[in-house]
Structure 1
């Protein structure tokens, strides 16, 4: 069971969540009409800024002894990786904005950035789940898309809720988090992303 939990944790790693979120938008919004080459260009940039650069940075920190585990299982390991992710998300947001995508797409990344800041602050006192913050953000984006477009693809919500449940169970089963840390992480990601995307459409402030 622990092997399965580790597979789920790696497949639904927080560094992959921005990529999954943008991919979801290309399938479940009017962005699906964009040319394939353009979508690949955007997805490649998102993967670079929010996954590859942070992952390589974390590996370097581990190799140089700055952090104890690659999985950032210790609360004291997280400040530097959070700072790197913070900068990476800023560059990703700029990249998406300059690519001419709708403001609510950039708002998705801004919501993720605010969730990272919140997690970093909470992490000084308590260990919140970064994995659940990530998937909570994708859930928030899905519900925001449904609200904006008034289209509710039930298979998408069912799949995401099931994935979140499996991930949360895996994190608790591996001893990485408590149930409350899992719930707090999910709420953190969901609330920030949902609010940013909705506000970007309602008031054009993002």
Structure 2
């Protein structure tokens, strides 16, 4: 079971969540009409700034002994990686702004940025789940898309909710987080992303 938990933790790694979120928007919103080359440009930029660069920096920190584990399992290991992710999100947001993507897409990145800041602040005193913050953000994006379009594939909702539950169970099973850390992380990602996307789309949050 621990092997499966580790596999889910890697597939649903927080550094991959922005990529998954943008990919979801390209398939399940009016953005599907955009040219394929443009989509690849956006996805490549998102993957570079929010996954590849932070991952390489974390690996460098581990190799130089600045952090104890590459999985950032200790609260003390997280401040510098959080700062790196913060800068990466800002760069990603600038890229998407220059590529003229709609405001609600920028809201997705902005919500992710705010969730990272919140997690970093909470991390000063208490360990919060970055994995659950990431998938909570994608779940929030799905709800925001449904609010904007008044339609969204039910199978994707079910899949995201199941994935959230499986990931949370995996993180607890691996001994990385407590139940409350998992719940808090999920709410952190969900609230910020859903709120920012709906605000940028001009939809009242009720």
Q: TM-score range by the shorter chain?
A: over 0.9
Asked if the contact 2:5–2:174 (Cα under 8 Å) also holds between the matched residues in 1, the reply is yes
Q: Secondary structure at the match of 1:42?
A: helix
RMSD of Structure 2 on Structure 1 (CA): 0.7
2:167 aligns with 167
1:152-180 residue CA offsets vs partner (Å, 9 max, x unmatched): 31011000000000000000000000000
2:45 aligns with 45
**Runs (5+) with no aligned partner, structure 2:** none
1:67 aligns with 67
2:25 aligns with 25
2:120 aligns with 120
1:88-109 residue CA offsets vs partner (Å, 9 max, x unmatched): 0000000001101101001100
- The aligned runs of 1:1-206 (5 Å cut-off) are 1-202=1-202
Distance 1:101 1:3 in 2: 39
Q: TM-score, normalised by structure 2?
A: 0.98
Question: Which consecutive segments of 4 or more residues in structure 1 shift more than 2 A?
Answer: none
Distance 1:44 1:180 in 2: 34
Q: TM-score, normalised by structure 1?
A: 0.98
Distance 1:142 1:76 in 2: 32
Distance 1:4 1:97 in 2: 38
